[in-house]
């Protein structure tokens, strides 16, 4: 090995000005690598590996820097960038078998890392302006990721995964930008504090309409009505039932174990929406009880890959041939949302002439002949903060109602 090393020590101020190594490996079996003091720099490393069998890597002090390392590894150790302007740049692989990664202090930075991995550890960005940029992979098998303090940032990372951990952005201006994937198998994501921001992250996988069903109109002049449910129901599925009735007097509706999401209870039109998280023992239908006699048409959905409860916007429709589901802005913002549009009419003329534009999936129609009620529904997948579907056009000009329902991805 040929090397050139220039160093100078001043009282209270240690500095390695320039070091150039052509060795293939720098290793300490049970030791550690440390750059400490003011302006400590290890530059232009041409070795393939920097490794410590049971040690640690530490960049501390002012302007401590490790540049262009091909690989930095510590089997059960840890990596730390501390102090002012501590920087690790262009590392190809950074791995700790059971350790942790920490960027702390002012302007601590890890830039252009290809892979950052801790087998059972954690990643932390703390302090003022701590930044991890352009990491292609960040993974902790059973650990956690945390951005804390002022202006802590993770930028342009491709994948951030914690098998049983959690992700947290806390403090002022904590930022995670352009992440391609964020996943915690049994963990949680939290954005807290002032100006905590998650931008351009993938919106999750769209909820899936696994099955649908329709029936009706049911027998007139009764108060109980059987709504046909989709096939293949298993525990945890989200079930949604939409009903359109013919009564011209106000009605309320209920079913054991179901939550009423919307009930028109109006003399203009009789329309209701109910949902339930399936137990797996629902059977082929559910019986709804109305507060008065009537005849009903029903559409039903079985949905997987969701979280939380559906949200809804509703509108009563005057005597026209159209039913226009209203705009809906769900509380969860712009993610890969399943949108359900539905419109119904008290009608004795057959069916629906057209569905809203872009709502080409799961088009349902109950009441397909000259009957006393007509109900149409359809869905679309769209990553958006809000949605305003187009109109259903029916073959009769009567009173009706319309709803827009949003289902959040898991």
pLDDT for residue 343: 95
Best CA proximity match to 375, nearest among 296, 310, 315, 312: 296
pLDDT for residue 3: 36
DSSP one-letter code for 218: P
CB-based burial label for 162 (10 Å; 0-12, 13-18, 19+):
buried
Best CA proximity match to 324, nearest among 334, 333, 313: 313
pLDDT for residue 246: 84
Structure-model confidence comparison of residues 203 and 125, the more confident one: 203
The answer, yes or no, to whether residue 93 has pLDDT greater than 70, is no
Contact between 307 and 295 under an 8 Å Cβ cutoff? The reply is no
67-76, 172-181, 212-221: which has the highest mean pLDDT? 212-221
pLDDT > 70 fraction of the chain, expressed in percent and rounded: 48
Structure-model confidence comparison of residues 228 and 182, the more confident one: 228
CB proximity list for 208: less than 8 A, separation 6 or greater = 303, 304, 305, 338
The whole-number average pLDDT for the span 76-89 is 63
Q: Which residues pair with 361 in a beta bridge?
A: 379
DSSP per-residue letters across 248-285? SS---EE-TT-EEEEE--SSS-EEEEEEEE--S---SE
Contact between 291 and 252 under an 8 Å Cβ cutoff? The reply is yes
16-25, 200-209, 212-221, 252-261: which has the highest mean pLDDT? 252-261
| Apex 336 CA angle, 181 and 282, nearest 5 | 110
The answer, yes or no, to whether residue 207 has pLDDT greater than 50, is yes
Phi (first) and psi of residue 348, to 5 degrees: -115, 15
Summarised one tens digit per residue, pLDDT across range 164-201 is 556 665 666 666 665 555 555 545 556 666 666 655 44
SS3 319: strand
pLDDT for residue 75: 56
Summarised one tens digit per residue, pLDDT across range 334-386 is 999 999 999 998 876 677 889 999 999 999 999 866 567 889 999 999 999 99
Q: What is the mean pLDDT of the chain?
A: 74
DSSP one-letter code for 62: T
pLDDT for residue 45: 44
pLDDT band, very low/low/confident/very high, at 21 (cuts 50, 70, 90): very low
The whole-number average pLDDT for the span 400-407 is 96
Summarised one tens digit per residue, pLDDT across range 290-342 is 998 888 899 999 999 999 999 999 999 888 899 999 999 999 999 999 999 99
Specify the pTM.
Answer: 0.56
The whole-number average pLDDT for the span 81-100 is 61
Domain boundaries, the chain: 4-199, 208-409
pLDDT for residue 5: 30
Q: Which residues pair with 277 in a beta bridge?
A: 238
């Amino acid at each position: 090995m040929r090397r050139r090393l220039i160093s100078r020590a001043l009282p209270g101020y240690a500095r390695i000005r320039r070091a150039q190594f052509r060795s293939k490996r720098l290793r300490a079996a049970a030791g550690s690598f440390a750059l400490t003091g003011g302006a400590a720099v290890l530059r232009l490393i041409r070795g393939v590996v920097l490794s410590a069998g049971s040690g640690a890597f530490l960049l501390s002090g002012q302007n401590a820097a490790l540049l262009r390392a091909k690989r930095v590894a510590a089997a059960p150790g840890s990596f730390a960038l501390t102090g002012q302007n501590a920087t690790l740049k262009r590392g190809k692989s950074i791995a700790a078998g059971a350790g942790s990664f920490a960027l702390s202090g002012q302007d601590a930075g890890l830039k252009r890392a290809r892979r950052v991995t801790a087998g059972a550890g954690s990643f932390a960005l703390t302090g003022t302006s701590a930044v991890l940029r352009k990491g292609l992979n960040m993974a902790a098998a059973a650990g956690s990721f945390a951005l804390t303090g002022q202006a802590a940032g993770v930028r342009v990372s491709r994948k951030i995964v914690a098998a049983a951990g959690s992700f947290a952005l806390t403090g002022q201006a904590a930022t995670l930008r352009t992440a391609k994937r964020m996943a915690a198998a049994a963990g949680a994501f939290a954005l807290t504090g002032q100006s905590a921001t998650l931008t351009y992250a993938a919106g999750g996988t769209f909820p899936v309409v696994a099955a649908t069903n329709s029936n009706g109109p049911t027998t007139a002049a009764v108060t109980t009505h059987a709504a046909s449910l989709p096939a293949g129901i298993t525990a945890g599925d989200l079930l949604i039932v939409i009903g359109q009735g013919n009564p011209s007097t106000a009605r309320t509706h209920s079913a054991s174990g179901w939550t009423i999401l919307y009930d028109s209870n109006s003399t203009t039109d009789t329309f209701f929406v109910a949902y339930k998280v399936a137990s797996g023992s629902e059977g082929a239908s559910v019986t709804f009880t109305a507060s008065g006699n009537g005849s009903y048409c029903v559409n039903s959905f079985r949905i997987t890959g969701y979280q939380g409860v559906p949200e809804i916007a509703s509108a009563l429709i005057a005597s026209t041939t159209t039913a226009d589901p209203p705009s809906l802005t769900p509380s969860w913002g712009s993610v890969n949302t399943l949108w359900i549009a539905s419109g119904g009419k008290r009608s004795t003329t057959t069916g629906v002439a057209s569905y809203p534009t872009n709502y080409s999936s799961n088009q349902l129609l109950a009441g397909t002949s000259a009957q006393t009620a007509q109900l149409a529904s359809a869905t679309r997948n769209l990553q958006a903060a809000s949605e305003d579907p187009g109109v259903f056009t029916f073959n009769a000009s009567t009173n009706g109602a319309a709803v827009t329902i949003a289902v959040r991805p898991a």
